[in-house]
Structures are given as C-alpha cells and as structure tokens.
Structure 1
Amino acid sequence: MSRPRRTTPRRGDRRPRQRAARGASVVGRRHEVEVGPVAHGGHCVARVTVAEGEPGRVVFVRHALPGERVVVELTEGTEGDRFWRGDAVEVLEASPDRVEAPCPYAGPGLCGGCDLQHVALPAQRRLKADVVAEQLERLAGLDVAVVVEKVPGEPDAPPGLRWRTRQRFVPLPGGRRGMRKHRSHEVVEVDDCLITARDAREPGPATQGLSVVETVRGRGLAVAADGFWQVHPGAPEALLSAVLEALVPQPGETVLDLYAGVGLFAAFLAEEVGPVGRVTAVEGDATAAALAAENLPGVDVLPGDVAAVLAGPDAPSRVDLVVLDPPRTGARREVCEAVAARAPRAVAYVACDPAALARDVATLAELGYRLTSLRAFDLFPMTHHVECVALLTRTGSDLR
C-alpha cells in the first residue's frame, strides 16, 4: 500500500493536454446555462447554444450543482472543440444542497483541489454515488445501487475538514506555500488548507529515503515517508474490513495480492489463511516491495511490474482469492486475463477511479466473473474522489 506512482489525489495537479487550436479561443466568454447531471471528474454537464437548430455545445462546469441556473465563464476551449470547460461564477438559481464553502481558497480561479466545498456533505456523497453508478452503467452495462459511506476516524473538527494526514504544498519565497489552480501551473498562496490535519506530514526532498510506521489493528507497517499511504485516518481500516468481509478467506487458501504496496491486505490475509495457506504479494515499486518484504514474514513478495510478474514463472498458477488494488489507470485487460486464468473463487477490487473500475469489471465479466457486491467510501471529503471495493465471483459459483 505504498506506491509513489499511485498518488492520492493531489490538489490541482491535473493540467490540460496541449492540442492544436480549432478556431478562436472561447476563454472568458460567459453564458447563462441550466446545469445538468454530475459527471466523472468534479464537474457537472451543461449545454450552450452555439447555432440555431444544434443540440448545444457541452460544457463541463465546476462549482455548480445539478438543477442550478448559473452564469458560466469558459476557462478552456476553442470554437471548433466538441466540448468546453468553465466555472460557475454567478449563481442565479441555487440548489438546496448548496452551502457556503468553508475555505476562502475554494472557488473559481482559486485553489484547484476541493471541487465540492460548495456542496453539503450528504449531497457530496450522493453525487459521488451517482458518478459510480453512471460509470458502471455506461461502461459495464450494470444497474447498481450505490451508497457512498461516511468513514469513521475523522478528527474533532467541522465535518469534512482536517482529515488529510499528508499534504504537498508548492514552496514559495520567504517560507510561504501555495496550491495550484485547477488544470494549471499557476499557484495560489494558501495560508491554511482546511482539509489538512494540524499534524499532517509534508513529504518532500527532506523525507526521501526515510520510512515511518503506520499502525493498523495494532500491527505496525513500515511505509516510505514520501511513498503512498491512504491520507484519511480511517481509510486503512475501512478498506481492510471491506476486503476481508468480501473475500471471507478460509484457513489453507491461496491468495494473490496484486499492487500490494507495503502489504496492508497481504498482512491480514496471511493471518486469515494461516500457516497452511499461502499469500503472494506483487508490487511494482522497488521501495514499497522492499518494505513489504520486511513487513510480511511468511509472505512471498515478488517485486516487479504486475503484468510481467504474472506472466513469469514465479507467480502461482492457481489461487483461491485475488486482491486487485491498481493505480488510477486500473488493472487493464492483460492483468485481468492473468487473474481469470488462475480461476480464483473471488476477486476483491479496490478502486480509486470509477471509470477504470467499470472498464475492468466489464473485462472480467467477459472472462467469467460477475460483480457480486460493491461498497463505496468517502475517503476524500470536499473533493470528487471516491474509493470503491468491488467483489467479483466466478459465474455460476455458489460460494457467495
């Protein structure tokens, strides 16, 4: 569970791809629009009429809510693009779920991290559930009722704030610090990030090569100080419980933990299957794999690219259970095929991206595995990010 390549969502680190202009820029133009449904990525969908008789140009609008009427100022796009991006800079008719953002740096043109601070927390979770359900329906053809669960473990603070135990800032002259704007290199100076815990660590050059110990269920796991570990204090326990409850590992079973990080899942799966069982952990990051080997006595830790390891001679050819905890891009077909070829009775898929999850669920369905259950967790309040744990079982299996 320590993968520098799968970073927890960093504030404002996604920037627009460079592409050839398709006509004059529309940046700065304003339109009055009726806001449509929420979409994957922290925005809602609206349409702007460009020419009479046309259906309207799609605009992905941030800082809005479904059903609102707003004035949107376009922030990206040219006249020939299929869609534009924009910010709601004026609210003409507000949703009942709209609240005043607690952070002075949240809003159009400001810090790019918290894209849902203008939404009441219960409504934030409903919007995230809508996104997960929509992605599963569109990409996997599944009609799934989704509920995003509040995660215990947040500090005594205003709800949704002060939960982030690690945070990266952009250093500024004079010891000041900032955050990047949405999809931009520009930096907004930030005096206090309200989702950051008071005692949060700030990984950086000074922490390279160092490790810390994270404790879960009384067990310490060494983690690189600048490596990946869930930033919500309740996340490790919530995800671990969901995986164990989904898989119901039995003594003597064989388990494959893919994208294992420093070994959160493997550590406790090994306890469940006992000394006659076998757990194999595969991790692509060399530092995380080395720490996993220290953290997991009795577990086979295989360092290397997951797809390459599964294609090699060292990985077990058949297993009872698989945990998939891939980076944001998902496991993808090659890994899904390698998993299905080992005929596990059940697969627990831990996903930080609903679209990647839905694509891999569709692939696994082709390979004989059906989605049996899904839980979603609000590990990143005030942002659009959501974590899911999906259980997939072999078609026709009566084990679950």
Structure 2
Amino acid sequence: MLDVEVGAVAHGGHCVARHEGRVVFVRHALPGERVHAVVTEDNGGSFCRADAVTVLREAPGRVEPACPWAGPGGCGGCDFQHADHDTQRDLKAAVVAEQLSHLAGIDREITCEALPGGPLGWRTRMRMAVTDDGRPGLRAHRSHEVLPVGDCPIAVPGALAPVLAQDWTPTAEIEVVHDGAGETHAAELLEGERHPGIGSGTAHEHAAGRDWELPAPAFWQVHPGAADAVVAATLDGVGDLRPGETVWDLYGGAGLIAAALAERVGPDGLVVNVESDPDATGAAGRNLADLPACRIVRGRVEKVLDSLVRVGASEATGDRGSRPPDVIVADPPRKGLGRTLAGRIGGLGARRIVHVACDPAALARDVAALAETGYRLDDLRVFDAFPMTHHVECVATLVREPDPQEAR
C-alpha cells in the first residue's frame, strides 16, 4: 500500500505518481488527488503499477462509477468511469497534446470533441471471454481472469442480452456486433477459428448518407456516431479535392471513406481503396459498385504501394491509374503506419495526407516521420469515440510544404 500524490494523466488510462524515486502508474485516480494505492504489478526497474483504493483528497470531476465492475481489481474495459464526461475529455486531450509534444515536437492546444449520445450505451462491438463453466464475461485489467458480468453499461442497451442468455464453449472468446438495424451477431473464436452463434452474420449500417451491408466481423466504427464524424472530418481535411483527381484510401475497409471521396472526384476521378481483409474488400466491392471512380485493391499496403500508380490500367478505370495521388487518406491499425511506411507514403508527393488514428502515440510518431518528408501538421480533430475508456479517434491533416528546389 502506497500513499502517493497523483500527477498528470499518461497514455494508457492511468496517472503518474512517484514513490521513493520510482514512477507509479495509478489507475482509478485523477490528477491532483492524494490516494492510497495498492501495487498490482511490479517487475522491478523504474516503475510499477497500482490501483487507487482509497481517495484521501478528491479532485474536481470525480464521480461514482456507473458500473460496479469498473473499480480496482475489476473489469479492464473502462479506464475513466470515476471521472465525469467533461473531465474524461480533458484527460484525453491532455494525453494527445503530450504525445504530440514528446514524440513529434509539436506544441498544440487540443480539444476532445464529444459525439452524440453521452458516455453510456454507445458500444456496438466488443470482445467477451468465457468462464470455465461456460458463462460469458469480460476480462479483468491486464489479466486472463474472466468476470461473469450481468451486463455492460457502455454497450448499446439490449445488445448483450442474447449473448448472456446462453452458455458458450469454455475458454472461447465471443465476438459481439450490434448493428445499425438492431440485430446482435455473436460468434465464438476458438483455436483460431470462428464459429457462428447468434444472428445472421451480416451487419447493416447507415453512415455518410448511404446504407452499408458487410460481414459482421469486418471493421466498422464502434461508436454509432463515429463513422459520420470521421467521414466529415476527412472531407474537411482533403480540402479542395477537385473532380477528376486521384485519391488513395489506404486501409479503406468496407469503403466508408472511399464512397465520400468518390462523390468529390466524380466519375472521371479515381479513388483507390486498399484493404487486406477479404471480408472488407468483398463488402467494398458490393457497396461501392454504383461509384465508377472507385477501384478496390486487396493487399497489404506496404506490399502493394509501389504498384498502385499502375492501378486502373484496365477497362474498369481506363488510363487514370497512371497518375500519382493528389491526396492520400490513411486509416491504419492501432500501431500506425510506422516510420518506414510513413516515409514511403510521404515520398509520393501528394499535396495532402489525411491520417485517421485511434492511438495518439502512434499518430505522433507517424506525424514526425511524415514531417521528415516535407509535411506539416495543419489540423487535428480529436473525437471521444470511446467514452469511459482512454481511447480516442483522431483525424490529422498534413499538408506538403513547398520544396525550395522546386520553387526555383
């Protein structure tokens, strides 16, 4: 048991304290509080992890958690249930700002924008685990222990009811999707294989003014308001995209952003949607069939990048694919683009790059890498697309600085 003064929030859902010269990452605390914290993990070295179990001096913004499983030793799904919604967004904004400053050398004031609906009842997709006696539940923080919860207050109301009503294979995981049509789909994941359990397996969504049909496991935004927010922010980021131009939508999934881009470039333009997941590319092919500007490329971005300038030399797109991209949109997985791929993308010379990211540290590293190829961070939108957790969704716009050599 440690008696500590809690300092700033850190990336990962905890705050930083110090005890006898060591860093203590404290969950369930707020900056400025004094707490008793129980050490939960200590592998030696310069830091350990702890849970605040008694608050000796409260900070403004502290509230009673909405879920009894959200406290010390409980479910690891939520990080900030002990903070009101405004405080949560302030904490997330502080983390994004700190990561940009530390990893990219950019000092910028950040605002974390709320999405419609409030902090509860928003989650449409989640991964559950199964106890040894077949009951579905959620894992404890940084643990394999399965907690047999009766429901989850951040899940869309009613989404988990059919899942919790039946027994599942012990030690399996359950992939749960509650789509925009109100249907719950659930499949068991066991030894690397997916076994359908509940629902039709085909999710129906509505976003960006279009109806979407896709396999339930294919990527889609978790928050019901996130898809529209990300598309709108991306369209703002691409700026003066003109009819007939070429856009690459890297990690484009089922085509959500590509559809909106295709409307901008028109039938004489080209939008290349690159995605490696076969479920997503299949859905993109079907959902974008009415947009002649769209071309679907299945493959890993780093593998197909060099060949993309030749995409379109076919009956489907004529000779439009011989041009480099005017604008690039990238929505990589949580780990980001990485330094090598960011450098390759930056070397293509697009006038704008719009980077969609769900991890502020990965985003900051990518922004720094793109800066080395001549790009400046022009705008950054941060959305609270995962209330009660430490996660955010960011849409960063980078513009290419004029090359002095080219100017001469």
1:303 maps to: 298
- Deviation at 1:165? 1.6
Question: 1:165 and 2:124 equivalent?
Answer: yes
Cα separation, 2, equivalents of 1:195 and 1:174: 25
Q: For 1:102, which of 57, 63, 66 is the aligned residue?
A: 66
How do 1:251-330 and structure 2 match up within 5 A? Answer: 251-297=243-289, 298=292, 299-312=294-307, 314-315=310-311, 318-330=324-336
8 Å Cα contact 2:238-2:354 kept in structure 1: yes
Q: Please state whether the residue corresponding to 2:127 is helix, strand or coil.
A: coil
Cα separation, 2, equivalents of 1:355 and 1:323: 19
- Deviation at 1:174? 6.8
1:212 maps to: 203
Cα separation, 2, equivalents of 1:218 and 1:366: 37
Q: Counterpart of 1:206 in structure 2: which amino acid? A: P
Cα separation, 2, equivalents of 1:58 and 1:218: 48
Residue by residue over 1:175-221, the C-alpha shift from the partner in whole angstroms, topping out at 9 and shown as x without a partner, is: 64211001110011100100011243253132699322211133122
Question: 1:182 and 2:182 equivalent?
Answer: no
Identity percentage of aligned residues:
53
Cα separation, 2, equivalents of 1:76 and 1:197: 33
Q: Please state whether the residue corresponding to 1:88 is helix, strand or coil.
A: strand
8 Å Cα contact 1:130-1:146 kept in structure 2: yes
Cα separation, 2, equivalents of 1:229 and 1:34: 40
Q: For 2:16, which of 45, 48, 58 is the aligned residue?
A: 45
Residue by residue over 1:10-67, the C-alpha shift from the partner in whole angstroms, topping out at 9 and shown as x without a partner, is: xxxxxxxxxxxxxxxxxxxx11000010000000001111xxxxxx101111000001
8 Å Cα contact 1:35-1:68 kept in structure 2: yes
Q: For 1:86, which of 36, 46, 50 is the aligned residue?
A: 50
Q: Please state whether the residue corresponding to 2:7 is helix, strand or coil.
A: coil
Question: 1:203 and 2:186 equivalent?
Answer: yes
Cα separation, 2, equivalents of 1:48 and 1:58: 7
8 Å Cα contact 1:67-1:95 kept in structure 2: yes
Cα separation, 2, equivalents of 1:63 and 1:74: 13
Q: Counterpart of 2:380 in structure 1: which amino acid? A: L
How do 1:216-227 and structure 2 match up within 5 A? Answer: 216-227=207-218
How do 1:228-239 and structure 2 match up within 5 A? Answer: 228-239=219-230
8 Å Cα contact 1:266-1:281 kept in structure 2: yes
Cα separation, 2, equivalents of 1:199 and 1:322: 39
Cα separation, 2, equivalents of 1:321 and 1:69: 49
1:117 maps to: 81
8 Å Cα contact 1:203-1:226 kept in structure 2: no
Q: Please state whether the residue corresponding to 2:346 is helix, strand or coil.
A: helix
Q: Please state whether the residue corresponding to 1:34 is helix, strand or coil.
A: strand
TM-score normalised by L of structure 2: 0.84
Cα separation, 2, equivalents of 1:228 and 1:203: 15
2:5 maps to: 34
TM-score normalised by L of structure 1: 0.85
Unpaired segments of 5 or more residues in structure 2?
A: 160-177, 179-184, 188-194, 312-320, 404-408
8 Å Cα contact 2:115-2:226 kept in structure 1: yes
Residue by residue over 1:79-131, the C-alpha shift from the partner in whole angstroms, topping out at 9 and shown as x without a partner, is: x3221011001111111111111111111001111110000110100000000
Cα separation, 2, equivalents of 1:81 and 1:128: 27
1:68 maps to: 33
Q: Counterpart of 1:82 in structure 2: which amino acid? A: S
Kindly indicate whether structure 1 or structure 2 has the higher relative contact order, using CA contacts under 8 Å at least 6 residues apart.
1
8 Å Cα contact 1:106-1:117 kept in structure 2: yes
* Structure 1 residues 359 and 393: alpha-carbon distance in aligned structure 2, compared to 1, 3 A threshold: same
- Deviation at 1:289? 1.4
Unpaired segments of 5 or more residues in structure 1?
A: 1-29, 50-55
